[in-house]
Amino acid sequence: MSSPVDFPYESFITIDRSSDISMYMQISTQLINAIQRGVLPFGTKLPGTRTLSINLKVHRNTIVAVYDELFSQGWVESLPNKGTFVIGKENEKPVNILNFEKKQLVNYPTSTGFTFKTSNILDNPFEHSNCEFVFDDGTPDVRLTQIDHHSRIYSSTLKRKAHKVGHYNNDGSEFFKKNLSHYLNISRGLPISKNNVLITRSTEMSIYIVSEILLSAGDIVLVGELSYFSVNMIFQKSKVNIQTIPIDDEGIDVEEVRKICKKQKIRMLYLTPHHHYPTTVTLSVQRRLELLKLSQEYGFIILEDDYDYDFNYDKSPILPLASADTNGMVIYIGSFGKSLVPGFRTGFIVAPENLMNEMRKYLGIIDRQGDVLMEHVLGEMIAEGEINRYLKKSLKIYKERRDYFTMLLEQRMGDHLDFKKPSGGLAVWMKWKSPVNLLQLSHNCIKDNLFIPKTLLYQNKHFTAMRLGFGNLSIEEMEKSIDILAKNIK
């Protein structure tokens, strides 16, 4: 076996003297890596503590601690009057340290040693930018959230009520589900109990669970001609046959749905009836009733995504389709606490109990731990009326922002755009009167510090449109963003 002095230890052991990790642990870890990767194979005699301390320019006691650590973990053995030797299998082939690159010891592999399937279906569609001004598709402004107040509620729950969190059965806090079901009953007319509610992390998780249980490859799923891209990605991953339905000022075209049902077996219809994504139009009452009848007649599932039910300004919101469903054909998904701090938000699914039993199995696999404490906090906010008080305050601000944003659009870009002031939600759908190259427009705006993601741009041979969110922008940010947009149009 090679002499210990033949190994240039200082060439593959790097010590960061400013690190919070002790030097002896840094050296120990790197020696173990060298043993694992064959640089120091079975039988290698390690240099004496004095010799290695001189080579690495550390105190001898540090190397003594290193060897003690290696011995305690079973990597080396100490033989009296002979020295310290690496333990391992005798048939190990030594690696030539002179041809061994240092990065092979300190870096994680850049690629796998095996093959696997790849897919571009779930490629992340979201873009990021360092621009000062950014348009999104309609998200709340986290700067408006009362973080201190939320933190106090969380802290209070943790200190005073941790013992009252209650039974947790892998599908959410029973306390939260009880209060959430009551909240949905009062606010959305859903005559449900906690047994009809499943708590998830997000709308996307909810749809993924629903898709895994209810959809099979080749099933026909209907979506709006313009629809939410993330949901379409989930459906594509399920290998279903996605067919699009036209959208007009009253929402999805029910007659077109009827025509397809007469020719083919439809498994599911996905829609966002409260404020259609991305056009923001509300599905009319008459069409809601017609869809429920069609669903019962032809046996297709209605997956109702009520992603922004809480944001209404001019009138009371229309109740969900699920509130009028007496035949168990509608699965209702939504989010709770969307206007709160991101960590305080959650998703949910409402469905009949027999389906809920199956969905709990899937949730137990992908999110068994959950966040029972946070859910208890949200339950407290409902029980104490805090969520209603907070929504009332935030809605006033968002209504003012909607009015100011649409006023700016009319004043500075009215000659270029057609749009309607939305009755709710946090975004405006606008169509260009004359064709505009939206990708080029977005590229030009970046030069002026305004970022418009591609996911907000809708353009084909029939129309040119954008969905611009205003909820996350202050008055000053709106003015500057619209100015930049108007400038680049001219």
Secondary structure of 240-256 as H, E, C letters: CEEEEECEECCEECHHH
The tens place of each residue's pLDDT in the chain, 490 residues long, gives: 455 555 678 778 889 999 889 999 999 998 998 888 878 888 889 999 999 999 999 999 999 999 999 999 999 998 988 899 998 766 555 555 555 555 455 566 778 888 888 877 777 777 888 899 999 999 998 888 766 666 777 777 666 655 455 545 566 788 899 999 999 999 999 999 999 999 998 899 999 999 999 999 999 999 999 999 899 999 999 999 999 999 999 999 999 999 999 999 999 999 999 999 999 999 999 999 999 999 999 999 999 999 888 899 987 788 999 999 999 999 999 988 777 766 678 899 999 999 999 999 888 888 777 777 788 888 888 888 888 888 888 899 999 999 999 999 999 999 999 999 999 999 999 999 998 999 999 999 999 999 999 999 999 888 899 999 999 999 999 999 999 999 998 7
In whole angstroms, give the CA distance from residue 489 to residue 483.
10
In whole angstroms, give the CA distance from residue 171 to residue 245.
34
Lookup: tokens for 262: 């007469």
In whole angstroms, give the CA distance from residue 199 to residue 282.
26
Beta-sheet strands, E only, within 47-185: 76-79, 83-86, 133-134
In whole angstroms, give the CA distance from residue 207 to residue 270.
10
Cα angle for residues 156, 158, 163 (degrees, 5° grid): 115
Using CB atoms within 10 A of its CB, is residue 278 exposed (0-12), middle (13-18) or buried (19+)? buried
Using CB atoms within 10 A of its CB, is residue 60 exposed (0-12), middle (13-18) or buried (19+)? middle
Reported as half-sphere exposure (CB side, CA atoms, 13 A), residue 446 has a value of: 12
Cβ atoms of residues 391 and 279 within 8 Å: no
Entry pTM: 0.81
Lookup: tokens for 296: 């019962």
The greatest distance separating any two alpha carbons of the chain, rounded to the nearest whole angstrom, comes to 94
